[in-house]
Amino acid sequence: MPKFTIVKETGSTNDDVLTLGRQGAAHGTALLALSQRQGRGRLGRSWYSPTGIGLYGSVLLRPHIARESYPRLTLVAGVAAATAIETQTGLSPRLKWPNDLYLDGKKCGGILTEAVFAGDGDYAVVGIGVNLGAFSGTPPEEFQYKTGALWQAMRPPHHAEFLFAVIHEQLLTLVSEYENHGLAGILRQWRRRDGFYGQQMAWAGPNGVKIIGESAGIDEAGDLLLVDEERCLHIINCGEVQPAAV
Ligand code: BTN
């Protein structure tokens, strides 16, 4: 199994691994923190990261893929995380485009991919957060009601270190599959885990644009397809979608 570093606490593992990337660290370098003070989510959100209830890890990738393909690493990481969780717990998380893991209709994990296109070598940092356990304190309200966790199925040695080791290994395996054989096989796995196919989804895009449509899954580029009520097809490649209130 590839090695990684574990720290008790940090600001954000993504920030730390971005720094390592800038310093020239190798493909596959990874960091797991037992807690984060400033865990970050997508779209400027924060990621609640106290000790003992979550997995907070980041992996440095220097993939041999085109720059415009970097956003697909989020889909690759989603498949890696869901597969690892299934292997370790028997639970089968569903995926929500582009970066969420769901259990029982609640978000239980997320991926934050950050790319750096540098003259002397491009790289990406893939950050993975998974809710593992029950809380000892009182979590923020939004967290209490909206969050799914794996704790029901977590038995020793299914703690963060062990699960992250499997996610890390899966991710590196899938990235080399992507490099050598393309994305098609990975997208097939993603579609098998798609938790929102056929559901009404709402997309909020830049400048207040809103689209509501039925999810037709992802296309061969990994973009999300939404079909609105006028049967117009929308190809979504940025932002995020949420189940539409019906
Ligand atoms: C999201 O759902 O918005 C993505 C959440 C990603 C959280 C992880 S925890 C490890 C890594 N470090 C961070 O600061 N964020 C990611």
Last residue of a domain, one of 165, 192, 219: 192
- Do 145 and 48 share a domain, yes or no? yes
The pLDDT value recorded for residue 141 is 63
Q: What is the pLDDT of residue 203?
A: 96
- What pLDDT score does 156 carry? 47
Pocket lining: 14 vs ligand 1, CB cutoff 6 Å? yes
Q: Which of 12, 5, 6 is nearest to 36 (CA)?
A: 12
Which of 192, 210, 227 is at the close of a domain? 192
184 in the same domain as 211: no
139-173: pLDDT as tens digits: 666 665 556 666 555 554 448 899 999 999 999 99
Share of the chain above pLDDT 70, in %: 89
In this structure, are 126 and 59 located in the same domain?
Answer: yes
**What CATH number does the domain containing 163 carry?**
3.30.930.10
The band of 91, judged by pLDDT with boundaries at 50, 70 and 90, is confident
Ligand 1 pocket, residue 96 CB under 6 Å: no
User: pLDDT-based confidence at 90, cuts 50/70/90?
Assistant: confident
Q: How confident is the model at residue 119 (pLDDT cuts 50, 70, 90)?
A: confident
DSSP for 135-176, written as a single string: -SS---HHHHHHB--SGGG--TT-SHHHHHHHHHHHHHHHHH
| Whether residue 45 sits in one domain with residue 155 | yes
Does 18 sit in the ligand 1 pocket, CB within 6 Å? Answer: no
Structural domain boundaries, residue 236: 200-243
Whole-number pLDDT of residue 151:
57
Nearest residue CA, atom 10 of ligand 1? 56
125 C-beta neighbours (distance < 10 Å), count:
27
CA of 149 to the centre of ligand 1 (A): 15
Best residue among 7, 40, 96, 143 to mutate for probing ligand 1's pocket (most ligand atoms within 8 Å of CB) is 40
Asked if residue 59 lies in contact with residue 141, where contact means CB atoms within 8 angstroms, the answer is no
pLDDT, tens digit, 9 for 90 and up, residues 11-21: 999 999 999 99
114/213 same-domain check: no
State which ligand 1 atom lies nearest to the alpha carbon of 55.
9
> How does DSSP classify residue 40?
B
Pair (218, 168) in one structural domain:
no
